[in-house]
A and B are shown apart, each in its own frame.
Chain A
Amino acid sequence: MRSFNHWLPLVCAIALALLGPLLSPYVADLVVKVMILSIFALSLELLVGMTGLVSLGHAAFYGIGAYATVLASGSEGGSIAWLLPLAMGSAAAYALFVGALSLRTRGVYFIMVTLAFAQMAFFVFHDTAFGGGSDGIYMYVRPALGALDMESHAVQFYFVLAALVLTYGLLALIRRSRFGAALAGIRVNEQRMRAAGFPVYGYKLAAFVIAGALAGLAGFLLAARDGVVNPELLAWHNSGEVLLMIILGGLGHLRGAVIGAVAFTLLKEVLSTQALVGPLADHWQLTLGIAIIAFVALLPKGIIGIAARLSPKAVT
Chain B
Amino acid sequence: MSLHVPATSLLEVETLTRRFGGLVAVNGVSLDLRRGEVHAVIGTNGAGKSTLINMLSGEIRASGGRIRLDGEDITQRAQFRRARAGVGRSYQRTTIFPEFTVLENCRLAAQAATPRPWALWQSAASCAASNAAAHEALSAAGLDPVAGRIAGTLSHGAKRQLEVAMCLATRPRVLLLDEPLAGMGAEETERMLGLLESLKAGHAILLVEHDMDAVFRIADRITVMVNGTVIASGDPAAIRSNPEVRTAYLGEGH
Residues on A close to B: CB < 8 A?
170, 173-174, 176-182, 184-185, 188-189, 191-200, 203, 206
Contacts and interface: CB of A to CB of B under 8 A. Distances in A.
3 shortest interchain CB distances as A-B pairs? A197-B83, A197-B112, A181-B124
Given A173-B120, A196-B109, A178 B98 contact: no
A196 to B, nearest CB: 4
Given A182-B108, A196-B112, A198-B80, A176 B89 contact: no
14 contacts: A178-B116, A178-B119, A178-B127, A179-B118, A181-B104, A185-B97, A191-B95, A193-B108, A193-B112, A194-B59, A195-B59, A195-B95, A196-B83, A206-B117
A185 B196 CA distance: 27
Given A182-B115, A197-B112, A176 B123 contact: yes
Interface string B34-51: 000000000000000000
A195 B83 contact: yes
Contacts of A173: 120-121
A224 B112 CA distance: 42
Interface of B: 57, 59, 78-81, 83-84, 88-89, 91, 95-100, 104, 107-109, 111-125, 127, 130, 166-167, 169-170
A194 B124 contact: no
A169 B1 CA distance: 62
Given A178-B127, A195-B79, A196-B169, 7 more contacts: A176-B123, A176-B124, A176-B125, A194-B80, A197-B81, A197-B83, A199-B80
A181 B110 CA distance: 12
B179 to A, nearest CB: 15
Contacts of A180: 124
A177 B123 contact: yes
A232 B82 CA distance: 47
Contacts of B166: 192, 196
Given A178-B124, A181-B124, A192-B95, A197 B84 contact: yes
Nearest to B114: A178
A178 B95 contact: no
B54 to A, nearest CB: 10
Nearest to A180: B124
Nearest to B78: A199
A188 B116 contact: no
A184 B57 CA distance: 23
A191 B57 CA distance: 12
B112 A198 contact: yes
A206 B121 CA distance: 17
B97 A182 contact: no
B117 A197 contact: no
Nearest to A203: B117
B129 to A, nearest CB: 10
A182 B121 contact: no
B96 A192 contact: yes
Given A189-B97, A196-B83, A197-B113, A179 B120 contact: yes
Contact of A177 (B83, B124, B169): B124
B71 to A, nearest CB: 20
Contacts of B127: 178
Contacts of B95: 189, 191-192, 195
Given A194-B80, A195-B83, A188 B123 contact: no
A172 to B, nearest CB: 10
A177 B122 contact: yes
A1 to B, nearest CB: 21
A181 B122 CA distance: 11
Contacts of A199: 78, 80
B79 A188 contact: no
B18 to A, nearest CB: 18
A143 B196 CA distance: 66
B111 A178 contact: yes
A195 B57 contact: yes
Contact of A178 (B57, B104, B115): B115
A199 to B, nearest CB: 5
